[in-house]
């Protein structure tokens, strides 16, 4: 199954998105929200995997306002340097605006059932939280989101299901930040939080330095069950 690149048109400008489709004619959709490395092979692999599970997966280029077409890896110092420069220049609120446009676009797709979820990693984990609080996505999942603790005031806007995966040894989300997130969200009726002992940031990034196969399998299974429940 080969994915395709499409163009999303907005009032702010045009940007591209990678789309992978399932074999069935009608299916729910999932917006795949990138890490700090752009729409790279890892993100396309995640999208392809979701398509294999029966979802239309769409991964937008959210760095387009800074530099369109970013596709780098976590394998070199130069790429890490560029990734952090992009991260520091990125406006999360503009990103959420773009995600909202992607949700509208894919929801109107003839192959979409009308249900649209979102899943994000790292920077995308924060954006998945903000997607849950600021868009009409039907269900959102965030993996090791960086900076969620700074936006928890928006949790009161949550009206649809949100699942968060937290790595207990996350070098980018300190223990204090994790405690604040857990304390704030633990009794929220729409939120499910899972913590993974001994896991560092990006434990679910296939091929990454901190990839943990068992934890990734557990988290991904939980995410799929969550989408099956809320996007049916």
**Structure tokens belonging to residue 70:** 């970013």
Instruction: Give the active site residues.
Output: 170, 201
Q: What average pLDDT does the segment 166-179 reach? A: 97
Asked if the model's pLDDT at residue 1 lies above 70, the reply is no
| Residue among 170, 188, 177 nearest 150 (CA) | 177
Over residues 153-174, the mean pLDDT reads 97
Q: Which whole number is the average pLDDT over 113-139? A: 98
Average pLDDT, rounded, for the chain: 97
Task: Please report the pLDDT score of residue 141 as a whole number.
Answer: 98
* DSSP result, 137-153: -SEEEEES-SSGGGGGG
Average pLDDT estimate for 150-167: 96
User: Domain of 186?
Assistant: 4-230
Instruction: Indicate the pTM of the whole model.
Output: 0.97
The total of structural domains in the chain comes to 1
Percent of the chain with pLDDT over 90: 99
Q: Among 207, 199, 202, which residue's Cα sits nearest to residue 41? A: 207
- Closest of 119, 110, 136 to residue 222, by C-alpha: 119
Section 117-141 average pLDDT: 98
CATH number of the domain that residue 137 is part of: 3.40.50.1820
- Cα dihedral: 201, 204, 207, 212 (round 10): 80
Other beta carbons less than 10 A from residue 4's beta carbon:
9
pLDDT at 53 over 90: yes
């Amino acid at each position: 199954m080969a994915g395709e690149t499409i163009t999303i048109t907005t009032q702010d400008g045009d940007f591209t998105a990678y789309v992978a489709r399932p074999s069935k004619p009608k299916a729910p959709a999932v917006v795949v929200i990138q890490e700090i490395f752009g729409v790279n092979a890892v993100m396309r692999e995640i999208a392809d995997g979701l398509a294999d599970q029966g979802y239309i997966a769409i991964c937008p280029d959210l760095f387009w306002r800074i530099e369109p077409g970013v596709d780098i890896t976590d394998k070199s110092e130069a790429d890490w340097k560029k990734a952090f420069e992009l991260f520091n220049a990125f406006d999360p609120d503009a990103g959420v605006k773009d995600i909202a446009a992607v949700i509208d676009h894919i929801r109107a797709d003839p192959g979409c059932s009308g249900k649209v979820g979102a899943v994000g990693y790292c920077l995308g984990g924060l954006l998945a939280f903000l997607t849950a609080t600021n868009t009409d996505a039907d269900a959102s999942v965030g993996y090791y989101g960086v900076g969620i603790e700074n936006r928890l005031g928006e949790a009161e806007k949550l009206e649809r299901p949100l699942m968060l995966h937290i790595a207990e040894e996350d070098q980018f989300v300190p223990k204090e930040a994790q405690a604040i997130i857990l304390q704030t969200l633990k009794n929220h009726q729409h939120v499910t939080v899972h913590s993974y002992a001994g896991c560092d940031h990006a434990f679910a990034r296939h091929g990454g330095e901190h990839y943990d196969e068992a934890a990734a399998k557990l988290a991904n299974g939980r995410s799929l069950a969550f989408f099956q429940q809320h996007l049916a």
